[in-house]
Amino acid sequence: MPRPRSAMRKIREVLRLSLGAGLSRRQVGAAVGLPYTTVADHLGRARAAGLGWPLPAGLDDAALEARLFPSAAGAAPRPGRPLPDWAAVHRELRRKGMTLQLLWLEYRERHPDGYQYTQFCDLYRRWQRRLDVVLRQEHRAGETLFVDFPGQTVPVVDPATGGVLQAEIFVAVLGASNYTYAEAFPSQALPHWIAGHVHAFEAYRGCPRLLVCDNLRAGVTRAHRYAPEVNRTYQELAAHYGCAVLPARPFKPRDKAKVEAGVLLVERWILARLRQRTFASLAELNAAIRELLDALNARPFKRLPGSRRSLFEALERPALRPLPAHRFEFATWQLATVPPDYHVAVDRHWYSVPHRLVGQRGEVRLTATTVEVFCQGQRVASHPRSDRPGGQTTDPAHRPEAHRRHLECTPDQLLRWAAQTGPATAAVVAGLLRARPHPAPRPPERARRPLLPLTGGLGSPPTTRQDERTSPC
């Protein structure tokens, strides 16, 4: 590997100060910032190469290094030594826990007369510099999935109405194999963002460990360089599949360079080829995308053996985590404060929560079939979701004791209570109920203060308050 320019400048300065200015080796070392032994080594190499000061005209850094360090300059592979399969080395390095030293040990086991470790690494780095910039990024197999929506859309024309829907294309790219997934959705809204992830995981038949996304609203509620706030539903998806979400830094596209390259490939090799076609539905568009996507993943690499598909099957797919037993159920979250009637409103329908939580702030989780209420991280209520506007769903256990007793005080119960005293009492109560325009009892009122007796020697008023323990209500 060539020495950096700063090192070659120091070597030239050592030769100038020592051979041209006549300073001692220690003085030269103090002036240049090099140890005494290094200065002596440079001067010894210059004498062996027959160099003095000034140096010959036209002697650039590469030529000077070749004359001072002939062994390093001649580090090209010797024909007598077996050369490793650098493509296989590069592919193996993407496996978790793999190192160059371990690969070198395996290489020396196969070829005892092969290259030493330092030259092995040097030759690999030289080969690696000839690769494409995107492929040179090192990502462990099964570790990272990059996701994004490109800016380009595809029009979908409704044949019945003639309306045009600009379909968004969801793109996901695995880091180690560059295996690409793409699907069209009506928009970039949260349900379609979540559905894209679920379908990608099922297409890969596994889950990565890390999700790298852009700062779109469906994924990141509040963008921040160091502490971004991930959307609650997106975070729930990651927890369900055992992933971690790492949003890219704002205005840093290189943080997700893999998906940027994948988006470019999808635009060039899929969307550009579909530009002359007219689609009547998303299903028709996705069928065409899948056909071209298979061809894209099967295209061979330019500088590496194999293709995205072969690399995915051999390297990435075995490293992915298995899918959970159940598919992720899409849910949205909203904040709610429990009102005095202990019913929270969701889509113009009211659902009960325990009455002790009146005035407290909680979170409501909404799925297609259920409504769950959480308070301080604990689920306090769960109801089947109803599409009846203006109605209410109530769990009797959520009511206060007084409200339950009031609702249980029906005419039939009053008659049964009166019959316990005697048939005459039951007849009187039945007559009173028939005399009322509506037999339902009035709602319970607050206990009123009893009237004070009139003064004037009438004595204490009689006790008129009944014993509540004998009342059916």
pLDDT digits (tens, 9 = 90+) for 135-181: 445 678 888 888 888 878 999 998 888 889 999 999 999 888 889 99
pLDDT of residue 389: 85
From 210, 168, 211, 170, select the one nearest 186 (Cα to Cα).
168
The DSSP code for 207 is: B
pLDDT of residue 331: 86
In terms of pTM, does the model score above 0.85? no
Q: Are residues 15 and 112 in the same domain?
A: no
452 token code pair: 């004070």
284 or 445, which is more confident = 284
Q: Is residue 443 part of a domain?
A: no
Q: Are residues 260 and 371 in the same domain?
A: no
For the chain, the distance separating the N- and C-terminal CA atoms, rounded to the nearest angstrom, is 94
3 state DSSP class of 284: helix
Q: Is residue 199 part of a domain?
A: yes
Rounded CA separation 11/470 (Å): 108
Q: What is the dihedral sign for C-alpha 451, 455, 458, 460?
A: positive
Q: Is residue 191 part of a domain?
A: yes
Rounded CA separation 349/383 (Å): 12
E-assigned strand segments in 67-186: 144-148, 154-157, 164-174, 180-185
E-assigned strand segments in 306-423: 332-337, 343-346, 349-352, 361-366, 370-375, 378-384, 392-393
Q: Are residues 288 and 374 in the same domain?
A: no
Query: 393 - beta bridge partners?
Result: 351
Query: 281 - beta bridge partners?
Result: none
Least confidently predicted of 45-49, 73-77, 279-283: 73-77
pLDDT of residue 251: 56
Least confidently predicted of 83-87, 129-133, 406-410: 129-133
Return the amino acid letter for 83. Answer: L
Q: Where are the alpha helices (DSSP H) in 363-469?
A: 401-408, 411-421, 423-435
Q: How many domains does the structure of the chain reveal?
A: 5
Position of tokens 């390093």?
A: 72
Q: Are residues 421 and 313 in the same domain?
A: no
Q: Are residues 200 and 337 in the same domain?
A: no
Contact 374, 365 (CB under 8 A): yes
Query: Following DSSP, what letter does each residue of 245-273 receive, concatenated?
Result: E-PPPTT-GGGGHHHHHHHHHHIIIIITT
Confidence of residue 306 (pLDDT cuts 50, 70, 90): confident
Query: Does an H or E element contain 61, and which?
Result: helix 61-68
* Neighbour tally for 180: CB within 10 Å: 26
Least confidently predicted of 195-204, 315-324, 432-441: 432-441
Q: Is residue 12 part of a domain?
A: yes
Q: Are residues 349 and 371 in the same domain?
A: yes
3 state DSSP class of 229: strand
* pLDDT tens readout for residues 79-92: 568 888 888 888 88
Q: Is residue 218 part of a domain?
A: yes
pLDDT at 470 over 60: no
Confidence of residue 67 (pLDDT cuts 50, 70, 90): confident
* pLDDT tens readout for residues 245-294: 888 766 565 555 565 777 888 888 888 888 888 899 999 999 999 999 99
Position of tokens 């089947």?
A: 384
pLDDT at 454 over 70: no
Return the amino acid letter for 265. Answer: L
* pLDDT average, residue stretch 337-364: 88
pLDDT of residue 404: 74
Query: 336 - beta bridge partners?
Result: 362
Domain boundary among 292, 319, 346: 319
Q: Are residues 159 and 286 in the same domain?
A: yes
Return the amino acid letter for 347. Answer: D
pLDDT at 375 over 80: yes
Q: Is residue 149 part of a domain?
A: yes
Contact 185, 206 (CB under 8 A): no
Q: Are residues 347 and 283 in the same domain?
A: no
pLDDT of residue 113: 86
Q: Where are the alpha helices (DSSP H) in 178-307?
A: 190-204, 232-241, 257-266, 282-298
pLDDT of residue 181: 93
Q: Are residues 298 and 220 in the same domain?
A: yes
Q: Is residue 297 part of a domain?
A: yes
Mean pLDDT over all residues of the chain?
Answer: 81
Contact 438, 411 (CB under 8 A): no
Q: Are residues 388 and 412 in the same domain?
A: no
3 state DSSP class of 89: helix
Query: Residues, the chain, total?
Result: 473
Return the amino acid letter for 133. Answer: V
Q: Are residues 120 and 265 in the same domain?
A: no
pLDDT of residue 429: 82
**Secondary structure in 3-state letters for 421-434:** HCHHHHHHHHHHHH
Where in the sequence is the domain holding 60, given as residue range(s)? 5-73
Report the greatest alpha carbon distance in the chain.
139
pLDDT of residue 369: 85
Q: Is residue 79 part of a domain?
A: no
Q: Are residues 239 and 220 in the same domain?
A: yes
Confidence of residue 467 (pLDDT cuts 50, 70, 90): very low
From 314, 393, 383, 380, select the one nearest 348 (Cα to Cα).
393
Read off φ and ψ for residue 337, nearest 5 degrees.
Answer: -105, 130
pLDDT at 206 over 60: yes
CA atoms within 13 A on the CB side of 3: 20
